[in-house]
Chains A and B, each alone.
Chain A
Amino acid sequence: MDYLRSCYSTTARFKAGDPHTSVIKWYWAPDGADKFPDRHSFGSLNWSDGSGAGNVVGEVVGAPRLWSNGAAPDGVLGANFCGTVAEFQNGIDDFLPAPRPQWDNGLPTCCTIAILCSKNDPPDYGNQPFLDGAGFSHVGGFFGVDDFVWGRVAAGTIIGFSLHFEGDACNLYPTRGFLQHRDTSPPGPPYLKECELLSYDDATGTGVWRVPLDAPRVPGAIVSVVQILVL
């Protein structure tokens, strides 16, 4: 959203012309977080210089700004945002009739987060191929929530994957799978793409995900290293 030397909390207005304000808190973006894709009106007022410019939404001019340590809420990935770009530019049209559902850490469930539980050691499958484009791969073994698996695939050929879960530490079933592009040769831009959960069998703990067709590919790459996060 913006750049800061130090984080703080303050109040902001989300609907133009409305007297209600809400407390917002700046925190450091986690590694790999996406940038907001367009201009917005919620930049830090640290960068305004008292020119007289006003704003209809965003931080309230003159409101106290209390220092905070910038620690991100647990599980934040920074992979998406709630609402629309237009709402971040011009404010919301109206308030929701009820608060959004929230994760345990207080963030709305429309924010993609990692499931909050103890992290297990990730299995490393090294150069094991996931699949050759003919179908879904199958990686056996034990996985808990928040585990992830590594592997190499031919660029452009991965269309899906399945994972077998034999237990989890949080009594939560994995429902979201992500394909994360890491370092490649040649290097490409990092991305994090949510994959569609096709099926999940509670009895066997097996989930099948499909990689979205619009997942970026690395032009000319022979192999890519991908990371599949199971959240």
Chain B
Amino acid sequence: MPAPFLPFGTLFYQLDGSGWSETWALVGIDYAAAAANLDMINTARLSFAPTKVQVIEGRISDSSVRGDSKLVNLTTAEGQWGTPLTDGPLPPDNTILFRFEAGALKRAMRQFHGVPTSQFSLGVYVPSGPYLTTLASFASTVVPLANIATKIKPTPLAPPFYTFSPYTVGFQRGIANKRVGRPFDLPRGRRLTA
């Protein structure tokens, strides 16, 4: 019996000189369905990001094959919240914290870089009503499209290597901090030491 198709989708983002990826265990019976779901997640994701946050590309990978890769075209290219002049982003290390649950026993904390400065007052996170609505909309969009992936242990000899548990609920939990990485797609040399 063929292994079930358990796809991971990765979105590559950049903000100024920083880059990060966000990986989702996707719902989808094939690459096309998974790609469509990843595209919807990206659109919802960018709805609460400042315009300077840009997505580079999406990538689908079947978890049963190492090195499996399919690049995905995405509908929404940049953040949709605010305007660059009035609502720039905080430094990229700042994140919006979400909690997703799959039933009562499984949960995943997710952090999303690109926090609009307009949601802060005197250095304190004070999200506006429309922003909270957008965050809630993002969570409700993602819930039917993604899963919590759990590695099967001990590692089996043949796929599947994960169990996918569908999200049942998701909600934002305020802000957090997570170091952001280097950008993708730019040639970089070794650091000079002398």
A: which residues have CB within 8 A of B? 1-6, 28, 35-36, 38-45, 47-48, 51-55, 58-59, 61, 67, 69-71
Contact = CB atoms under 8 A, between A and B. Distances in A.
A59 B65 CA distance: 11
A3 B66 contact: no
Given A52-B155, A53-B161, A38 B70 contact: yes
A70 B188 CA distance: 8
B67 A3 contact: no
A101 B45 CA distance: 47
Contact of B184 (A4, A40, A43, A61): A4
A59 B155 CA distance: 21
Contacts of B186: 28
16 contacts: A3-B21, A5-B19, A5-B182, A28-B185, A35-B71, A38-B70, A41-B67, A42-B69, A43-B61, A47-B10, A47-B59, A51-B151, A53-B66, A53-B161, A54-B66, A55-B66
A155 B21 CA distance: 39
Classify the secondary structure of A's interface with B. loop
B171 interface: no
A106 B32 CA distance: 36
Contacts of A45: 66-67
Instruction: Give 4 closest A-B pairs by Cβ, nearest first.
Output: A43-B69, A39-B70, A52-B155, A58-B67
B67 A39 contact: no
B189 interface: yes
A134 to B, nearest CB: 37
Contact of B68 (A28, A36, A41): A41
A70 B66 contact: no
Given A2-B71, A51-B151, A53-B65, 8 more contacts: A3-B56, A3-B185, A28-B187, A36-B71, A38-B70, A69-B187, A69-B189, A71-B187
B69 to A, nearest CB: 3
A192 to B, nearest CB: 17
Given A2-B59, A47-B61, A69-B189, A53 B71 contact: no
A103 to B, nearest CB: 22
- Of listed A1, A4, A41, residue having the most chain B CB within 10 A: A41
A70 B12 CA distance: 19
B64 interface: yes
Contact of A58 (B66, B151, B156, B159): B66
B156 to A, nearest CB: 7
Contacts of B51: none
Given A28-B187, A53-B64, A69-B189, A39 B156 contact: no
Given A5-B183, A28-B185, A69-B187, A39 B60 contact: yes
